[in-house]
Structure 1
Amino acid sequence: MAVSKCKLMKAAGLSVSFMALMAGVTHAQDAAPGAEVIPEVIVTVQKREQTLLSVPAAVTAFNSSFMNDVGITDFQELAQFVPGFEVQDQSPNNPGFIMRGITSDSGTATGEARVSVFQDGLSISRSRGAYIELFDLNRVEIAKGPQSTLFGRGALIGAVNVIQNKADPTDFDASAQVGFGNYDYRLTELMMNLPVSETLAVRLATRFKSRDGYTENLLGGEDFNSLDTRAARAVISYAPTDRLNFDLIVNYQEDTPAGTGFKSGTFTPTNPQTGAVIGDLSPYTGAALSAAGGFKGGRDLGLERYVWGTTVLGRYEISDNFSLSSLSAYRRFTASEVFDADGMSLPLTVFGEDAYGKVWTQELRLNYDGNDKLSWFAGVSYFDEEARTAVPLQIDERVASVFLTNQLPRPTVPSYPFIQAALQSTPSLAALYPLLDPAHRETSTTFGETRSFDVFGDITYRLTPKLEISGGVRYTKDDKTSGYSASVVGNSGLASISFAQTTVTSYVTQYVQATGTLPSSAQQTAVFNQALTGALGLPLGIFKQPTTGNGNRFDQDFDDDGFTYRLVGRYLFSDTLNAYASVSRGRQPKTLSGDSGSAPLSAAVFIEADSETVDSLEAGVKARLFGGRMSWDSAVYHYQYDNFQTSVATNTGNVITVSAGEAKAYGLETQTYYRATPGVDLFATYAYNHARFGNGIYDGNRFRLSPDHTVSLGARLKKEFGLGTLSFTPSYVWQSEVYFDDNNDLPQFQPVVAGLRPVADTKQDEKQDAYGLLNLRLGFKPARGPWEVELFGTNVTDEDYIKDAGNVGDTLGIATFIQGEPSMYGVTLKLKY
């Protein structure tokens, strides 16, 4: 602890000293003749309009101009230019948002977000519905650190606020763009702003984006890791008076990409009919995956996700000093995904996920902003959510029998004839082969209901012309229900045989203890047959035992409440340099995770994870240098977590939330933007984050998906000449080593588990070494004409990397890997009225 704080304070001192020196240089020189001042992005992090320079927190914000020039269209691309922020897009249905080392990606209906995503200040954080297309936006704000006081639910460690463009009654506007590229990339985007009257306007925007998969499907059919998205938005803005305005926003998005390319790192792709080798173990080559026949009505691998949302924003300026805001939203999503999670050519398992969520949110807020000396806001909010996540799975018991008895040769996956021969040659299984179900099905479902009420307030007061303090508090009261159910279709021959064998083992042990001799073979056979007959009469599961009634839902009600707060001091050295220090607390509510009982047809069991808290210390400096041509923001921070919640797999294959004990993180972030001359803009970010578990089951481990170092560099270069303007935007992003699980793939967390994992995984390969990606954009806009054309390339050096590893297959000891995007390139034509 002492070493960490020492490093933190040294970094803070160096940052403050350097910024003060730079500010002195700024006062000594004016901006170069003809140089333009970089525009400040106006943000509303503190619930009022401010420049980034004025906000005493680590905030990154991008306007639409920057996002268009750099080519930001989704969260993963956005995160590349935000220090301390990472996004893993395994699929639109399974994103991971990582802020300062902390990952938020729980897909269960009972999980809570740590990094909240907002649209116009309203939470859309349930992970299966949070990944949205970024198009026709005013700006995006990313606030790091505990932001529960300002943003509310789920902002334990940060918040991302997407501000959508509103309709403008003063001017007609329209634009369009189309794009084409390799992997049959297609993009169409349209926008139209229609004034209806002086007080009413309508804005329509839509995006269609598709791309073939970049991981070859070696068994034929659609390639994996594709894109297929359609999104639309309608905005009606109405301002009947100068003091009153409303915005009605309706959003819709659907995603139907092909399956995720889970590539096995254990078994080589083969033809399942002949056993011929058709691939290799590299995570960067094709995969042999398929959905088992009949699963979910014969669905192919892939995702079907639909998101609807309606938002109503109202603002009334009561006077020059007071305003009242109302934020209302209803949002609903459904998502159904099928994936071959074991990565094998033979259908050992095939999984699905059916997620549903709906949420209604209402917030009322009163703002006071009288002068430069005092401002405050206070309000109440209500959050009502219902969520459900079902995980159906299908198991080929013929393949599973050979796999679980460790008869599959590695790395070459055998064919169906091999499986049949292996079963027939195993005396204990040969006679029972007819009992094995090639399509045994089990389903487990989690349910979550939350009714939450918040009361909050925040005040900023300038004590002197140079010193201001801010303080805020939020009280949250949750009434929650966690539910669980599990069901089995038909009888599992494999589970029945296993049950009968266990019964015989127990019988033999008791018989020897009682008599001192072994029971005869006939006695053992009789016990086996009797137990097998009884087991076959039950809906017995392999991974999930069915709850009472073969699928009855069990609920458990509970409540949770707590306070979060922030206290910030800000000192203005000058109009262009200030520093701040803050202490704040974030909080993750208590959770209950449901699971099957150990015996079939029993009640569900619930595992409690106590509420998680994080106490944060942060110090930062913000400066505008060289006459306004450079912005430079830096921050250092230290976090202390109690009852850190993490996800672990149970021996039934379920994923539950548990407390992993204490954890710590400290780090440094810096970002700069510099206009060297008109037409030459340079930007850079760097983040150092040291996030480690402090005790508990993962003591000393790194947090998953958390690199210690990240860097981004880029430039926006524009040159005017007779024919028009030529633009060039290169960017480079780099990150250090990252692990994909909190257990860091250490051998002690990969033991042999009887009936689930026949071989221990002792190779620590579920990680990604340091790598960097180079992206280039080259554009031309004519001096006359409403069009421009742009060539783009991402990962132009075709760097090999993986963006996920382990996954569901890791539960079976056969980890899978998901390839990162290879080199992509294309052309975009833009038209503007």
Structure 2
Amino acid sequence: MSALRLASVSFLALMLAAPAVAQTRTSAGAEEGSVPEIVVTLQKREQKLLNVPAAVTGLNASFLTDVGVTDFAELSLFVPGFEVQDQSPNNPGFVMRGITSDSGAATGEARVSVFQDGVSISRSRGAYVELFDLDRVEVAKGPQSTLFGRGALIGAVNIIQAKAKPVLDGKAAISVGDYNYRMVDAMVNVPLNDQLAVRLSGRAKHRDGYTENLLGGDDFNGLGSDALRFTAAWRPTEALRFDLITNYQKDSAPGTGFKSGTFAPTDPTTGAIIGDLSPTSGAALANGAGFKNRNLGLERTVSGTTLLGEWRLSDAYRLSSISAYRRFSASEVFDPDGMSLPILAVAEDAKGKQWSQELRLNYDAGGAVSWFAGLSYFKEEASTAVPMQFDERVAGLFLTNNLPRPNALPLPVVAAVAPTAFGPLAPYIDPAHRESSTNFGKTESIDAYADLTWRVTPKLELSAGLRYTKDDKVSGYAASVETPSVLAASSAVTPVITANVQTQVTQLVTQYVQATGTAPSAAQINAWTAQVTPLVVRAVVAGLPPVGIFKQSTPGNGTRVDQSFSDDGITYRLVARYAFSDTFNAYVSAARGRQPKVLSGDSGSTPLAAPKFTYADAETVDSLELGLKTRLLDGRLSWDTAVYGYKYENFQTQVATQSGGLITVSAGKADAYGLETQAYYRLTPGADLFVTYAYSHARFGNGLYEGNHFRLNPDHSLSLGGRFKFNTQNARFWFTPTYTWQSEIVFDDNNDLPKYQPAVPGLRPVADTKQDEKQDAYGLLNLRLGYAPLNAPWSVEVFADNVTDEAYIKDAGNTGDNLGIATFIAGEPRMVGVTLRINY
């Protein structure tokens, strides 16, 4: 263990501490040297974080700006027990206490819910949105189904967007940096009268890719997002308020850099070696000829409208309403095999739209009992289509293990050897064979919930919550094959062709003998064979059904097949909080989270056969948590910590089928225990220190992956930093260093163990025996230094991320892993830039 890691762990062992920063409100008389109070709304009412009996991290706009957070991946660095993998905006992985939520299937359900102002946006392909013009972000760990509902199996992230206010205000920030980085944030808030105000804000964020495209064109792993938000606030009376929020975001990003760890980058025409196998060096990727008629990359739009209403019926009763409509459409084209040759090109076309309505009644008369209860309705329709294109010449050589490693043959050579490799079938081998599969999901859900808090004594508080969820679901599946794959059918049709050729040649020989009384020569028989073979092959190929390589067509070559089912369940929470003093609280909670059962479709084993549907039983998690929260040193130290343990039943995971698809199955039982701690310390009025630490021991129990680590989950993670601000006679300066560190992670629930990756004929020609799909422990150092003249409306800040240029990977395995040729995605290298901010 390095000196830095040892020092960090020792410090944490002594303090049990890390940051808790959120919406801040300084009460009257608060000392300048104390940490501001933290207010969150986890329990559907405003409470100081100190008094909330749950593991919650809140980050306000000031903190997010100071440490340079603009997206979920950066946010997660400062939240203990929370990890985010951003393979692309279309394919994020949200990880809470070891549990990953990242399925792109339209039939799947989230385990970690993402909300915007209480509206679920958890569908994976539409969840990753830009974080700008926010009031705060609240991250609650542990089962939160009772409080948040849909998908909050093991945690929830709630983005609280800034609302229009009755003041004239505006600000802008312009950032530029290397890799052609540029980002513009702007906001203007205008009061129209005493009751109505509007706010318009937006962001444009773009950056060239940091993984070089060795074949020319746009580099990989770049950014391209434009987002706009309009809000209106109407306060017709003191008791009634409405907030209208409309969001729109468009992403247009270059391709994801899936770097092969098996085949070196080569020039596909000449075969010249143009790169190496390092995950962090350049990649030679390209789209298949004519596939989707576009380049590699992502095109996505996300939009939504929310209406928030609150009516204070009396001093004790408050009625709240959340109405929302949301939709997204995303199309991403990628080269998943990581090779220079066009063995496979894949796209993912995902669409979704949802409607939701929630009504909640709160009661709090300031007495011993308070409660809230509500009803919600949720409807969603989604689909995920996965079209694929194969160059059957390359695929055939690969699947028969005749493609040299690591330096593959150039494409002209592949084309030249195809006739020899495929014999009489060579003329029918398709360099652009296409097939597609689509999964569909439809959900109608009704929730009824209630939560009651009883203040037994001034120090003891008990809470209990219950939620009932009823889902009516439809899972659908369809697959089509554009033209039959002779490559896929070759093992079946070759004996047929041979038999038919032999039959026809035998007939010709018989006729010759009968006509001449002598046997034909070998040369004559060979000539007849050469003459008959093309005719037989053509006849056999013409009679082939629409057979595919990975996907077999559903009836009618693409007809959708649906199955309906229902699911219902109950989740709960039981909490006790004891206030030892005004600045020291302890709590214990028991809670259950639940993910509905899932029905996944996949192609049948033969063309035009009905699809196969596989059930994964409802997943449940039972959690026990003990927490401590306090403010020490006259309010200069805010600290909270929690220890927890949980058990899963029917843990759902995705596995590859022999047809190359992914289905959701139960991996059996799983359990975990851990510790999360966070503290914020005000050393002086101008110097703040913060630290977070999480320990997560998450392992599979019995079942498919017994003893394996959970994917994307480090056992240890740490962040620490400071906000240092000081003034001179004419200017103010600030310095914000942060350091984040995590221990080793694996990228798949199978932990890349060879026993789970044997050779599979027609899919994985060689067993994967190398356990390399993991990332060793690493840390990232970020620095920000700012300057502003006193009383000036502008400031300038220099920033540097990953100062030490640490090389790491953010993902490994991917689609290529199903073929036994895992791909790797590099993490961001060192990036520097400057930001100009203007307030007006």
The alpha carbon displacement at 1:528 in A equals: 13
Distance 1:609 1:503, change over 3 A: farther
The alpha carbon displacement at 1:589 in A equals: 0.1
Please point out which of 554, 568, 579 is paired with 2:575: 568
Amino acid at match of 1:342: D
Query: For 1:190 and 1:111, how far apart are their aligned partners in 2?
Result: 36
Which residue is equivalent to 1:106?
103
Query: For 1:725 and 1:319, how far apart are their aligned partners in 2?
Result: 47
Distance 1:368 1:34, change over 3 A: closer
Which residue is equivalent to 1:226?
222
Query: For 2:829 and 2:259, how far apart are their aligned partners in 1?
Result: 15
Amino acid at match of 2:276: D
Amino acid at match of 2:552: Q
Please point out which of 754, 759, 779 is paired with 2:761: 754
Q: Secondary structure at the match of 1:431?
A: helix
Which residue is equivalent to 1:461?
454
Amino acid at match of 1:124: I
* Residue 282 (structure 2) pairs with residue 286 (structure 1): yes
Query: For 2:114 and 2:496, how far apart are their aligned partners in 1?
Result: 51
TM-score in terms of structure 1 length? 0.93
Please point out which of 355, 359, 368 is paired with 1:364: 359
Query: For 1:505 and 1:827, how far apart are their aligned partners in 2?
Result: 70
Which residue is equivalent to 1:500?
493
Please point out which of 757, 769, 772 is paired with 1:765: 772
* Residue 698 (structure 2) pairs with residue 691 (structure 1): yes
Amino acid at match of 2:206: S
Please list the CA deviations of residues 642-669 of structure 1 after superposition, one character each: whole Å capped at 9, or x if unmatched: 0000011100111110000000010001
Query: For 1:172 and 1:148, how far apart are their aligned partners in 2?
Result: 39
Query: For 2:16 and 2:182, how far apart are their aligned partners in 1?
Result: 45
Query: For 1:434 and 1:668, how far apart are their aligned partners in 2?
Result: 63
| Residues 68-217 of structure 1 aligned to structure 2 (within 5 Å) | 68-169=65-166, 171-217=167-213
The alpha carbon displacement at 1:496 in A equals: 2.5
Amino acid at match of 2:321: S
C-alpha contact 2:16 2:677 (8 A) present in aligned 1: no
* Residue 403 (structure 2) pairs with residue 411 (structure 1): no
Query: For 2:836 and 2:367, how far apart are their aligned partners in 1?
Result: 46
Q: Secondary structure at the match of 2:464?
A: strand
Please list the CA deviations of residues 610-629 of structure 1 after superposition, one character each: whole Å capped at 9, or x if unmatched: 00000000000000111111
C-alpha contact 2:144 2:153 (8 A) present in aligned 1: yes
Please list the CA deviations of residues 478-532 of structure 1 after superposition, one character each: whole Å capped at 9, or x if unmatched: 000000000010121212313224779999xxxxxxxxxxxxx999x99995898
Which residue is equivalent to 1:629?
636
Query: For 1:212 and 1:502, how far apart are their aligned partners in 2?
Result: 52
C-alpha contact 1:501 1:528 (8 A) present in aligned 2: no
Query: For 1:613 and 1:407, how far apart are their aligned partners in 2?
Result: 46
* Residue 815 (structure 2) pairs with residue 808 (structure 1): yes
Q: Secondary structure at the match of 1:457?
A: strand
Amino acid at match of 1:666: Y
Q: Secondary structure at the match of 1:256?
A: strand
Amino acid at match of 2:329: T
Amino acid at match of 1:710: S
Distance 1:65 1:40, change over 3 A: same
Query: For 1:570 and 1:733, how far apart are their aligned partners in 2?
Result: 32
* Residue 309 (structure 2) pairs with residue 309 (structure 1): no
Please list the CA deviations of residues 555-593 of structure 1 after superposition, one character each: whole Å capped at 9, or x if unmatched: 000000000000000010100001000000000000100
The alpha carbon displacement at 1:369 in A equals: 1.3
Query: For 2:451 and 2:121, how far apart are their aligned partners in 1?
Result: 23
C-alpha contact 1:110 1:591 (8 A) present in aligned 2: yes
C-alpha contact 2:356 2:378 (8 A) present in aligned 1: yes
C-alpha contact 1:397 1:436 (8 A) present in aligned 2: yes
C-alpha contact 1:390 1:444 (8 A) present in aligned 2: yes
The alpha carbon displacement at 1:409 in A equals: 1.0
CA RMSD of aligned residues (A): 2.2
Amino acid at match of 1:753: V
Percent identity over the alignment? 65
C-alpha contact 1:588 1:612 (8 A) present in aligned 2: yes
Unaligned runs of 5+ in 2: 1-8, 18-29, 501-525
Query: For 1:531 and 1:702, how far apart are their aligned partners in 2?
Result: 52
The alpha carbon displacement at 1:85 in A equals: 0.1
C-alpha contact 1:359 1:386 (8 A) present in aligned 2: yes
Distance 1:702 1:501, change over 3 A: farther
Q: Secondary structure at the match of 1:41?
A: strand
* Residue 380 (structure 2) pairs with residue 385 (structure 1): yes
* Residue 799 (structure 2) pairs with residue 792 (structure 1): yes
| Residues 329-408 of structure 1 aligned to structure 2 (within 5 Å) | 329-371=324-366, 373-408=368-403
Runs of 4+ with deviation above 2 angstroms: 17-20, 420-426, 501-507, 525-532, 534-537
Which residue is equivalent to 1:602?
609
Query: For 2:583 and 2:286, how far apart are their aligned partners in 1?
Result: 59
C-alpha contact 2:73 2:83 (8 A) present in aligned 1: yes
Which residue is equivalent to 1:235?
231
Q: Secondary structure at the match of 2:253?
A: coil
C-alpha contact 1:500 1:529 (8 A) present in aligned 2: no
Please point out which of 676, 686, 691 is paired with 2:683: 676
Query: For 2:697 and 2:129, how far apart are their aligned partners in 1?
Result: 29
Query: For 1:772 and 1:827, how far apart are their aligned partners in 2?
Result: 23
Which residue is equivalent to 1:245?
241
| Residues 708-747 of structure 1 aligned to structure 2 (within 5 Å) | 708-747=715-754
* Residue 437 (structure 2) pairs with residue 436 (structure 1): no
The alpha carbon displacement at 1:831 in A equals: 0.2
C-alpha contact 1:208 1:231 (8 A) present in aligned 2: yes
The alpha carbon displacement at 1:539 in A equals: 1.0
Amino acid at match of 1:268: A
Which residue is equivalent to 1:264?
260
Q: Secondary structure at the match of 2:452?
A: strand
Query: For 1:74 and 1:270, how far apart are their aligned partners in 2?
Result: 35
C-alpha contact 1:34 1:678 (8 A) present in aligned 2: no
Query: For 2:67 and 2:414, how far apart are their aligned partners in 1?
Result: 52
Distance 1:762 1:113, change over 3 A: same
TM-score in terms of structure 2 length? 0.92
Amino acid at match of 2:752: D
Amino acid at match of 1:94: N
Distance 1:532 1:321, change over 3 A: farther
Query: For 1:529 and 1:668, how far apart are their aligned partners in 2?
Result: 70
Amino acid at match of 2:472: D
The alpha carbon displacement at 1:430 in A equals: 2.9
Which residue is equivalent to 2:49?
52
* Residue 33 (structure 2) pairs with residue 40 (structure 1): no
Query: For 2:268 and 2:626, how far apart are their aligned partners in 1?
Result: 59
Unaligned runs of 5+ in 1: 1-10, 21-32, 508-520
Q: Secondary structure at the match of 2:624?
A: strand
Amino acid at match of 1:56: P
Please list the CA deviations of residues 59-88 of structure 1 after superposition, one character each: whole Å capped at 9, or x if unmatched: 000110111111111000000000000000
* Residue 614 (structure 2) pairs with residue 619 (structure 1): no
Which residue is equivalent to 1:8?
none
Please list the CA deviations of residues 167-209 of structure 1 after superposition, one character each: whole Å capped at 9, or x if unmatched: 011x100001101000000011110000000010000000000
The alpha carbon displacement at 1:36 in A equals: 1.8
The alpha carbon displacement at 1:417 in A equals: 2.4
Which residue is equivalent to 1:654?
661
Query: For 1:455 and 1:531, how far apart are their aligned partners in 2?
Result: 63
Query: For 2:542 and 2:765, how far apart are their aligned partners in 1?
Result: 23
Distance 1:536 1:796, change over 3 A: farther
Amino acid at match of 2:200: L
C-alpha contact 2:471 2:567 (8 A) present in aligned 1: yes
